[in-house]
Structure 1
Amino acid sequence: MRHASVETFGTTPGGDPVHLLRLENGGSRAAVMSWGASLQDYRVQGWGAPVILGSPDFSAYLGPLLHCGAIAGRVANRIAKGRAMLQGRVVALDRNENGKTCLHGGARGTSLRNWTIAEHDSAQVVLKVTLPDGEGGFPGRLDITARYALEEDGALRLTLSARTDAPTFCNLAHHAYWSFAPEDGLQHHDLTLPADSYLPVDADLIPLGPPASLDGTRFDFRKPRAVKRAGDALLDHNFCFAEPTQALRPLCCLDYGPMRLEVEADSPGLQIYEGAHLDTGLAATLTGMPYGANAGLAIEPQAWPDAPNHPEYPDIRLNPDETYRQVSRFHPHVRD
């Protein structure tokens, strides 16, 4: 197997080199960088533009493209008031979002760290990172592995796994923004999502309680619907599926003209965020044009947000005798 070359892409705030690897298979090309174990670029046969948002300049990922394409964790999404119950005690966590919530694992989560490249070849790369006990307030050392692999049909499979030495929480998610035409926004991107329920949220985007029916809501995508229409409320919500499965199941499709993105995963939830706050300003982008609000759609297979504070939600606790595992498959392609 031909080995991919490792390029230097930038320098972390601490002075360490950020590496970039380019993958190719099945007519697709992708680039993965060590910062945040991030998908930096992804292009597929038959389409002349990237299918994700990104930048050729690393500095953008420290500013307007924070978390873009990265692995978010150790707990992706939000934990209300930075507090969680674990084994009968309250765990105090970073409140790194508006001083209120713990977002994406806190101030030093997985998307804000430089991962180590463990192995790679022309079609796949394995990256690793270790989060120390107590970082962000989370107990337990957590060893995490991410494997990106381009498959024979050009689809991208992401396998995430983790082990801990003490009871903790773990909920990892891939935070790429998908778009076939960033300059066009999301008004002509149609989303199909077969979930029957979702989690309504408060002003801090924290779930209010049990899943609610999608009937009659702006969030009903069981039939294809434009992601964003004039007057639509903010879309930054978790869609609820059954308990995690051993096999991949279809979670959603995103269509634009001749192009389709099919997403499968084994997770019990899917967070969809319309990129309402995107604004790259003068930062370089993969298309050469600025990304504004709704330039891309974050499609994030994961567990449900704020799970530690809702015993009725799928459990995100991880114990030392267990292995966390999540598999997602993203397949952008020209429709038949």
Structure 2
Amino acid sequence: MKNHMLSGLVVLGMSLLMISCGSDTTDSTTEPEPAETELKPPAIAFKPTGNVKGKGTQLYTLTNGRGIKVDISNYGGIVTSILAPDKDGNFEEVTLGFDTLRQYLETNPFFGALVGRYGNRIAKGQFTLDGQTYNLAKNNMGNHLHGGEEGFDKVVWSPTIKEVNDLPGLVLKYTSADGEEGYPGKLDITVMYSLNQDNELKIDYTAKTDKPTVVNLTNHTYFNLTGNAKRDILDHVVTIKANRYVPVDETLIPTGELERVNDTPFDFTQPTRIGDRIDADHQQIEYGGGYDHCWVLNRPRDSDELTMAAKVREPNSGRTLEVYTTEPGVQFYTGNFLDGSLTGIGGVKYEKRYGFCLETEHFPDSPNQPSFPSVVLKPGETYHTTTIYKFGVE
């Protein structure tokens, strides 16, 4: 499912954009100014990759004029690859994933996937809504994680290509039936991926329901900005725009408090190397064996403005990643459960802390935490959130 396999693709895009500068005429003493490099328009290519449970799967490649390439499968909405340049212009893989669809079907710790109906954890696989208790799969230390046994990461989404604001986008749709994985209400979900000329991968999530339900959608891409996962992510320098975080118990369920990050290993208000404090005792980084917590972003509680959540810089390659979102929180995870047993893209063994995630979201266990921002969606309402992952160099 990688770029080198994309031969014979159908390519969809817009008309070529030509940019030039300089005078139309020259004289014997003045040489013409060189034209700027042609900026190719964003485009989408696709190819079939097989089928899952009788439904066809395709791999879509989004490309912009600056050479960024993003591969996305309609199986699980998985971002299978992102190629981004380093400070010397070398394009390399900056995500964790697999080379084939079969590998994603066999074992996948949510690499690149769309996650739902509820991203993150729900305590004891249970919540009460409008006086009725709903029981969900307990698939993680006695709790519910990432939508259950067969969440949105394991379904085949219906794909279409749509042009919005002069950008071609991949639109994925899925209808989650009433009662699927224990959740109430039929939920119609639309997710759109688009890539612009500013190297921004934008993800728009929209959902509607016919019964009151809970919704918390996110993307679970693992990043490693060294390029082709040359080493772990401990030297990456992270800034998170959050003065508070969500402390958790031994099973990674929130205690209900929102604590200040000051004087704790969770303080990323200033650029901080991931490895500087990840092995500090602090209850073994509060039970996660490393970072696996939700940060409360510095924004008004009811605001839905798109604001910066985090920035990551990898010193050797010069690559940077900025994250913008309309969500109130971001889960920062440092690949604590990777153990070298998975062979990923290009044959790389993914060892512990070989990738990090920045999952924009509402807080874990919000259905059971009345003081947290609500995740309830009712008939007639529209769930809509936006997240942008922007790639750069410094």
Q: TM-score range by the shorter chain?
A: over 0.9
| 1:185–1:282 distance in 2 versus 1, CA, 3 Å | closer
The CA distance in 2 between the partners of 1:295 and 1:244, in whole Å, is 35
Q: How does 1:152-163 map to 2 (within 5 A)?
A: 152-163=197-208
Q: 1:40 to 1:58 in 2, by over 3 A?
A: same
Equivalent position of 1:94 in the other structure = 137
Structure 1 residue matching 2:331: 3-state secondary structure = strand
Say which of 252, 257, 272 aligns to 2:310.
252
The alignment partner of 1:147 has SS state of strand
Q: What are the ranges of 5 or more consecutive residues in structure 2 without an aligned counterpart? A: 1-11, 14-42
CA separation in 2, counterparts of 1:296 and 1:244? Answer: 32
Question: 1:151-193 CA deviation, whole Å, 9 max, x = no partner?
Answer: 1112101101101010000000110001112232121101111
Q: Which deviations, in whole Å up to 9, do the C-alpha atoms of 1:231-262 show, x marking residues without a partner?
A: 24221000012425332101000110211100
Contact 1:4 1:120 (8 Å CA) reproduced: no
SS in 1 for 2:110: coil
CA contact (8 A) 2:179 2:185 kept: yes
Matches of residues 116-155 of structure 1 in structure 2 within 5 Å?
116-120=158-162, 123-155=168-200
Instruction: Specify which of 277, 287, 294 is matched with residue 238 of structure 1.
Output: 294
1:36–1:110 CA contact under 8 A, matched in 2 = yes
Q: Letter of the 1:231 partner, please give it.
A: D
Asked whether the 8 Å contact 2:342–2:350 carries over to 1, the reply is: no
Rounded Cα–Cα distance in structure 1 between residues aligned with 2:302 and 2:189: 19
Counterpart Cα distance in 1 of 2:319 and 2:265:
24
CA distance in 2: counterparts of 1:200 and 1:318, whole angstroms: 25
| Comparing 231-240 and 139-148, the one that deviates more | 231-240
Out of 101, 116, 141, the position equivalent to 1:73 is: 116
Query: Unaligned 5+ residue runs, structure 1?
Result: none
**1:183 and 2:183 correspond:** no
Letter in 1 for 2:78: S
Equivalent pairs counted in the alignment come to 332
The CA deviation at 1:226 is 1.5
CA distance in 2, matches of 1:329, 1:38: 16
* Contact 1:185–1:295 (8 Å) recurs in 2: yes
One-letter amino acid of the structure 1 residue matched with residue 296 of structure 2: C
- One-letter code aligned to 2:195: L
- Give 3-state SS (helix, strand or coil) of 1:4's partner: strand
CA contact (8 A) 2:224 2:355 kept: yes
Give the superposition deviation at 1:282. Answer: 5.6
Q: How far apart are residue 205 of structure 1 and its match?
A: 0.6
Q: Secondary structure at the match of 2:99?
A: coil
2:79 to 13, 19, 39: 39
The whole-number CA distance in structure 1 between the counterparts of 2:342 and 2:170 is 31
How far did residue 277 of structure 1 move? Answer: 1.1
Scaled by the length of structure 2, the TM-score of the pair is: 0.80
What letter matches 1:138 in structure 2?
A: Y
SS of the residue 1:331 aligns to: strand
Distance in 2 of aligned mates of 1:239 and 1:111: 23
Deviation string, structure 1 residues 240-298 (Cα, Å, up to 9, x no partner): 12425332101000110211100000100100111111246363x22431111111101
Aligned amino acid, residue 332 of structure 1: F
- Matched residue type, 1:317: V
Secondary structure of 2:373's aligned partner: coil
Which one is further off, 32-41 or 287-296?
287-296
Measured in 1, the distance between the counterparts of 2:57 and 2:264 equals 43
Tell me which of 166, 170, 173 is aligned to 2:211.
166
* Mapping for residues 1-336 of structure 1, pairs under 5 Å: 2=13, 4-12=44-52, 14-27=53-66, 28-45=68-85, 46-98=89-141, 100-120=142-162, 123-181=168-226, 182-229=229-276, 231-232=279-280, 233=285, 234-241=290-297, 242=299, 243=301, 245-257=303-315, 258-279=318-339, 281=341, 283=343, 285-335=344-394
Tell whether the 8 Å contact from 2:45 to 2:62 is kept in structure 1 after alignment.
no
Taking a change above 3 Å as real, the CA distance of residues 278 and 30 of structure 1, as seen in their structure-2 partners, is same
8 Å Cα contact 2:161/2:168 also seen in 1: no
**Percent identity among equivalent residues?**
32
How far 1:95 moved relative to its partner? 1.2
State the structure with more CA Rg.
Answer: 2
Counterpart CA distance in 2 for 1:204 and 1:26 is 45
- Could you report, residue by residue, the CA deviation over 1:75-103 in whole angstroms, capped at 9, with x for unpaired residues? 000000011110122211111224x1111
